[in-house]
Structures are given as C-alpha cells and as structure tokens.
Amino acid sequence: MNRHLLVGCWLLTVGLVSSAGGENWPNFRGPGGLGVSGDTGLPVTWSAKENIVWKTELPGPGASSPITWGDRIYLTCYSGYGLSEREAGNQADLKRHLLCLNRADGKLVWEETVAALAAVRFGGFQARHGYASSTPATDGERVYVFYEKEGVLAYDFAGKQLWQSDVGQRTHNWGSGTSPVLYKNLVIVNASVESGSLVALDRSTGHEAWRAGGIRQSWNTPLLVEVAGGKQELVVSIQGSLLGFDPETGERLWNCPGIQDYVCPSVVAQDGVVYAIGGRRGGTAVAVKAGGRGEVEPLWTQRAGSNVSSPVVYRDHLFWISDQGIAYCLKADTGEIAYEQRVPGSRVEGYASALAADGKVYNVTRERGTFVLAAKPQFEQLAHNEFGSDTSICNASPAVTSGQLLLRSNRYLYCVGSK
C-alpha cells in the first residue's frame, strides 16, 4: 500500500523531523511521566472556533492520551461495542484501534485494529472509561500498547505488528487503565488487574524479562524516579503501600505506608521525593524519599486527595482537581494545604491528570471542559474552556506538541493553539 512507502520515507527522516518539531511527548504524561512541559506560549483560552488548529473525528471513544514522536501522533480508541450503556451491542464486535496521525493537520496516516473478545462486559464503573484507557508509549522505533487480557503489543512505525505478549488473563468489573513504561531495553506494565504483577518485557522480542508480584488494587502507571548515584527506581502505588523496585531486575527495594484504598492516580516526583494521592471521601496525599531500603516512613501525609486524577508537582507545589471538583494546591516540602477550592459549576469531575506549563496548570474535566489555573499557591482561575457542541466525555490527559495542546474527547482529537 502507498501508506507503507510514505511511512518508510518518514522513518528515514525521523531524526531531522524530531529535532525540528520540538520535544517529543512519547508516553503517558510526557517526558519523565510527570505531566510537565517546558513549552511556552501555550494557549490559555479556546472554544469550538477559537485557537483550533485542527480537529479529527475518531473512529471510536477512549480515555487514553495522545503521544507524539517527530511529526506523528499515536492514539488508541475502540469501536463496535460499549458505545452506550443502554445499547451496548454485541461484545463479539469489540475492536481496539491504534491510530497514527499527521501532527501538522491531524490526517490519518495508518490504523491497525485488534479484536478484543477477552474484555470484561460493558457496564458500571468500567463504562466510565471504556476499552481504550491505556496510553501508548514509543521509543522512536516502535509503538507499544497495552490491551488488558490481549496483552502488550509492539508495532513498527509503518503499523506492522512485531509481537504480542500475554501478561495475565484475569479481569475486573472496572476494567484496566495503566500505561506502558520504557526503561533501557524493557517495556514495563502494571498488570495488577490481569495478574497482580509488574511485568517487564524485552522491547525487541516481547519475551518476559522479570515479574514482580503483590501488586494489589492498583490502576496507576508506575514512575521511574532518579535517586542518588544517577540510578533510577520504579515506583508504583498500590492499596496500602508505595513500593520501590529495581527496574533492571524487578527486585523490591523498599515499601512505605500509602493510600489505604484502591489506587488510580499515578505518582509524581521531584528531587528524589515521590508524591502520591488517592482514596475516596476526601482522600490522602503522601510524600516519601526514594532510594531507601526495606520499611521506610513517609515524609508527610495530608488529608487531601483524588480518587482518579493524578497530580502535578511544579514550582515546589502539588496541583490537581479531584473527581469531586475540588482544586488543590499543597506545599511539596511540608504537605501543607495552600488552598482547597471548589471549582465553579456543576458536574465537575477530574479524571484526567493535571498538566503544568509556563506558569499555568491545565485541568481537563469529564463534562465541563478545561480549567486553566495559575500555578501559584493562591487560587486563580485564568480560563474555563469548552468545545461547544462536542458534549462527549473527556477522560484523557493533555499532551503538548511544539507550543500547542492535544486534547482528546470521546469524539475528536483537537490540536489547540496558534496556527
């Protein structure tokens, strides 16, 4: 097909395109998995007509976030089943899609689909995010996707499937939603739902390199954290604990008391300190110094959290909007609450993770658009932006690409910024 010839030419020039197009956004929450961008000039306000560079209708919904490499965008969605709780359809028709889009205009370059017969039946809490909740990851050579019981799949940049590896065959009524993490020659996934394990696979072959068990009630993406000596630890939040692992071997290094509930929010880190939030009924925030061994104690705990959305640490403060519509700002060194402010409006639920850039914090909500807040310890709402007639759910975290935002609803992918 012509698309393979075109993509082949793209692969020959990827280095030049990447350097010309700004920093890549290669995985969930971007470089380092922290939800922080160094880009300036990002838009503050937009609408259905204002500051829209392009929008692309998607073949189905999803809660996964877009990623970028060079002049390409990668995104997952699903179709055929589970589009409405009242008319879910035939489960045998469920398909998952991996899309490759042109970053300049949003046009489709290629699309690959996988049948998803092993997915949990549609309904309940699972219906709130659907069957495409795991954000892809790329290393510039391959794209890796996690499709729950269908396992981890690797594709080349022409859309050819290279391998598929099983990481467990269990499921849950809430579905799954963790995203792949890349470390050296490994792709690591939190398969808490599928097998109660962290699983590391060889990027080239998909063969299992190591597996670490005991990952209970965990729906969040692990984070690679820099520690003393230039090393990295893999940190994940599970029910009751924060755990640190050697990403090379899967050896458990330390554990710390954590969120006393199932955990959806992913951790963030700054200067070797890990921050976790989670829990219902107000929730909990915890800070712990990485690099310890055995049982370690938290630096501080605070009665503030979110059941789904992940925080961002920026300018020595933690920011997020909870699934209850509460905007939080905590001092990173002490956990002291700088503000706890209900965002104006009804039905404000934060599922997407916060993004910080250029002195602003972007908070995407499920049904009420995006709230842009000043990144400072006093609550200041700079803008509230909605897409007008697109009233579909927005669960995906934003991505940044060359001074523009990529925002995804269940219907469209939007490129927001100056043309």
Residue 152: beta bridge partners? 146, 165
- Residue 85 C-beta-side C-alpha neighbours within 13 Å: 8
Q: Into which CATH architecture does domain 2-407 fall? A: 7 Propeller (2.130)
What is the pLDDT at residue 22?
56
What is the pLDDT at residue 20?
32
What is the pLDDT at residue 123?
85
Q: Are strands 72-79 and 67-69 parallel, antiparallel or unpaired?
A: antiparallel
What is the pLDDT at residue 8?
37
What is the pLDDT at residue 9?
38
Residues of the chain with pLDDT under 70: 1-22
* Domain coordinates in residue numbering, the chain: 2-407
What is the pLDDT at residue 85?
78
CA distance 67 to 84: 27
State whether residue 400 is helix, strand or coil.
Answer: strand
What is the pLDDT at residue 76?
98
Alpha helices in 96-232 (DSSP H): 192-195
- Dihedral sign for Cα 158, 159, 163, 166, please: positive
Among 248, 302, 246, 239, smallest CA distance to 275 is for 302
Q: Are strands 36-37 and 355-357 parallel, antiparallel or unpaired?
A: parallel
Among 187, 190, 192, smallest CA distance to 171 is for 192
| DSSP string computed for 291-305 | T--EE---SEEES--
Among 210, 255, 262, smallest CA distance to 235 is for 255
CA distance 198 to 340: 34
- HEC letters along 232-271: EEEEEEECCEEEEECCCCCCEEEEEECCCCCECCCCEEEC
What is the pLDDT at residue 125?
80
For 207-239, b where at least 16 C-beta lie within 10 A, e where not — what string?
A: eebbbbeebebbbbbbbbbbbeeeebbbbbbbb
- Dihedral sign for Cα 179, 182, 188, 190, please: negative
| 81 Cβ contact partners less than 8 Å away, ≥ 6 residues apart | 88, 89, 90, 91, 92, 93, 94, 122, 131
Q: Tokens 């080239």: give the residue.
A: 204
Kindly report, residue by residue over 269-301, the tens digit of the pLDDT: 999 999 999 998 879 999 999 999 999 999 999
Among 268, 250, 262, 152, smallest CA distance to 197 is for 250
Residue 364: beta bridge partners? 370
Instruction: Name the DSSP class of 25.
Output: B
